[in-house]
């Protein structure tokens, strides 16, 4: 994955460099989950191809997009702030994952999904 600047342009500015140095990846600086922790999430959730993951509070798409790319699972990225969702959508398109990753405006307290819709749910960096 190429670095994505805070504005989604791919600019490799100072913030992008810091995020990559600290977290090992650059998805727009809206999360604190490291790449190692994201890998652990994938392992613990036993994510794989044809499974559907709900990433609640996705922000700019980290770690949901990474999990879909690295495990082959399909993912629904859900959050409320339009700016973060737009960044996530831009990243999904940029990474060529539009066929496996959907971005939706949804509240984590009352999600518009049936509970049995997903094999796994993640909520990294969400403050409840």
pTM for this model (two decimals): 0.81
Q: 14-122 architecture in CATH?
A: 3-Layer(aba) Sandwich (3.40)
Do 11 and 35 form a contact (C-beta atoms < 8 A)? no
- Is the bond preceding residue 40 a cis peptide, omega within 30 degrees? no
- Token pair in block for residue 101: 């990753």
pLDDT of 2 = 47
pLDDT of 3 = 44
Per-residue pLDDT of the chain (128 residues; tens, 9 = 90+): 444 444 444 556 787 777 777 767 766 656 678 888 999 999 999 999 989 999 999 988 989 999 999 999 999 999 998 888 999 999 999 999 999 999 999 988 888 999 799 999 998 877 65
What residue ranges do the domains of the chain occupy?
A: 14-122
């Amino acid at each position: 994955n190429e670095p994505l600047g805070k504005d989604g342009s791919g600019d490799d500015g100072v913030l992008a460099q810091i995020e990559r140095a600290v977290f090992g990846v650059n998805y727009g600086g809206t999360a604190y989950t490291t790449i190692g922790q994201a890998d652990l999430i994938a392992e613990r959730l036993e994510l794989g191809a044809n499974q559907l993951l709900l990433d609640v509070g996705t922000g700019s798409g980290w770690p949901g997009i990474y999990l879909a790319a690295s495990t082959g699972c399909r993912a629904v990225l859900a959050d409320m702030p339009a700016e973060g969702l737009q960044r996530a959508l831009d990243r999904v398109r940029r990474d060529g994952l539009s066929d496996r990753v959907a971005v939706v405006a949804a509240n984590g307290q009352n999600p518009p999904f049936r509970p049995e819709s997903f094999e796994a749910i993640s909520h990294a960096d969400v403050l409840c």
